[in-house]
Chain A
C-alpha cells in the first residue's frame, strides 16, 4: 500500500469515527472472566459468563463455555463454546452468545435519524463445523433487527469476518444507561427468531433463516474473539483495538466486579461502626469503578469484625443485611457478636477465598 493510500485510509477512519476508543464492544478479546476465572461452566440457561458476554444453548444439554487460550494470531484468549448432546431447536428456541451495548456507547450513532451512521462489526471465529452462520443486531423502543450471515470456510481454523451494517433511520434508540443495541451470534435458534439477512426489519431476530444450527452437532466447538463494533462503513475493518489491560478491566467493572481475598491469609477489609454491643453497620468497601447503576451484590466465604485489638467480636461469619449504594458495598446491620462498644470503629476481615460481587449488567 502506498503512503498516499495509507494517509487516505487514515483520513477515512478519522471521518468515520475516532482513531482511538473505536470499539464499542467491551472485552471483545475475551480476556476477562471475573466470574469463572477460565473454568469451563454450563452454558445451558441464560446467564453472564465471560465479562459482558451472556447467552446459552439450552437446546443441547451439556453445552459448556469457557475462556480459552486457543485464539487467533495476536490474541491470547477466545470464548469457547462446546456443544453437549446435539439437538434440533424448536421454533421458539434461543441459542446464542451476545453482548448488550449500553446506550451511552452508541449515542453518537444518530440511529433513528436521517443521519444514522453505518457501523462495521468484525470478529475472529473458528468452528469444527463449516457453513453459513448468522447473527443479528437488535434494539430500539420498537424492536428492529438487522440479521447477517457469515461463512466459515475451513474447519478448526480462525477466520476474520467483517459485517457492514447500515444505520437504522427509524425508531427510538436508547442513548443513556439502558440497553442500546444487542449484538447476537446465533448458535442455532428456532425459526421464530430467524428471518432474511441484510436489512433492518421490525421484530426480534437472532439469526437468518437456513443458517447453520451449531446446536445440532454433538461435540461441535465454536471459538469467538477479536469482536469489534465501530462507526463507519469499512469494507476493511480497522485492526482490533487493543487497549491497556487496566482500562479494559475498568470498562468491565462498570457492569460487574468481583473483589476477592486470594492472599492465602485472612486480611483486613474495611472499617464499620458498632451501634450496639453485638452489631455493626456502615460502608464495607467502595466499588473499583463507577457502575452503570446501583448493582445487585452478593458475598461468599467467611467474614468477621473486631475492635481495638481484641478477639473477633463473634459476629455472623456472613455479612448481615448486605446491600449496595451506587458506590459501595454496605451493611445496614451485621449482628450476632458480643463485647463491641457502640460508637466505636470495628475492623472487618475476610478469610482467604472470600469475595464480594456487584452486578449492574444490562
Chain B
C-alpha cells in the first residue's frame, strides 16, 4: 500500500477513533482496529519510520 498521508479523526469528545489516510490515491477512513488490514499497514509504516500520523485538526 502506498500511504501518502495520515491524520487522526476524533469523536465529539476529542478521542481518536480513526485515521483519515490517502492510500493508493484513495481517501480512506481507517479505524483503530488491530484486525483491520489498513490499520495494520499504517502501524507497520509508522514503526518503519516511513509514515507519521498527524494529530486531528
Inter-chain contact A332/B11, CB cutoff 8 Å: yes
* A333 and B35 contact, CB distance less than 8 A: no
Would you list which residues of chain A between 176 and 194 have a CB under 8 Å from chain B?
Answer: 177-178
A295, B10: Cβ atoms closer than 8 Å: no
Q: Is B50 an interface residue when CB atoms closer than 8 A count as contact?
A: no
Residue of B nearest to A357 (CB): B28
How many pairs, one residue from A and one from B, have CB atoms within 8 Å of each other in the complex? Answer: 54
> 1/0 per residue A297-337: CB within 8 Å of B?
11000000000000000000000011110000000110000
- Which chain A positions have C-beta within 8 A of B39? 296
Given A47-B24, A298-B26, A332-B17, check contact A361 B31 (CB 8 Å): no
Choose from B24, B26, B27, B31 the contact partner of A323 (Cβ within 8 Å).
B31
- Interface range, A side: 20 to 34
Give A321's nearest chain B residue, CB to CB.
Answer: B9
Distance in angstroms between the alpha carbons of A47 and B26 in the assembled complex? 13
B12 touching A296, Cβ below 8 Å: no
B31 to chain A, nearest CB (A): 4
B10 touches A324 (CB 8 A): no
Chain B: number of interface residues, binned into ranges? 20 to 34
- Would A362 and B37 be within 8 Å (CB), given that A323-B18, A332-B10, A332-B17 are in contact? yes
Are the C-beta atoms of A298 and B12 separated by less than 8 Å? no
Is B6 an interface residue, CB under 8 A from the partner? no
CA A294 to CA B30, docked complex, whole Å: 9
Partner of B36, one of A47, A295, A321, A333: A295
**Residue ID in chain A nearest B38 by CB atoms:** A296
Contact with B along A140-151 (1 / 0, CB 8 A): 000000000000
B35 lies within 8 A of A296 (CB): no
Contact (Cβ within 8 A) B12 A281 = yes
Shortest beta-carbon distance, A273 to chain B, in Å?
11
Chain A residues with CB under 8 A of B38:
296, 359
In the complex, whether A285 has a CB less than 8 A from a CB of chain B is no
Complex: how many Å from CA A281 to CA B17? 14
A355 within 8 A of B: no
Say yes or no for A292: interface residue by CB 8 A criterion. yes
Cα A322 to Cα B11 in complex, Å, equals: 10
Distance between Cα atoms of A284 and B18 in the complex (Å): 16
Give the residue name and chain of the A residue nearest to B34 (CB): A293
Contact (Cβ within 8 A) A297 B37:
no
Mark interface residues in B18-51 (1 if CB within 8 Å of A CB, else 0).
1010001011111101011111000000000000
Does A323 contact B36, Cβ atoms closer than 8 Å?
Answer: no
Does A240 count as interface, using CB distance less than 8 angstroms?
A: no
Give chain B residues whose Cβ lies under 8 Å from the Cβ of A321: 9-10, 20
Question: What 11 additional pairs, Cβ within 8 angstroms, besides A293-B35, A294-B36, A332-B17?
Answer: A275-B12, A281-B12, A292-B35, A298-B26, A298-B27, A298-B29, A323-B29, A324-B29, A332-B9, A332-B11, A332-B12
Interchain residue pairs with CB less than 8 A apart (5): A177-B35, A294-B33, A332-B9, A361-B37, A362-B37
Q: Please provide the 5 A-B residue pairs with the shortest distance between their CB atoms, ordered closest to farther.
A: A293-B35, A294-B31, A294-B33, A323-B18, A296-B38
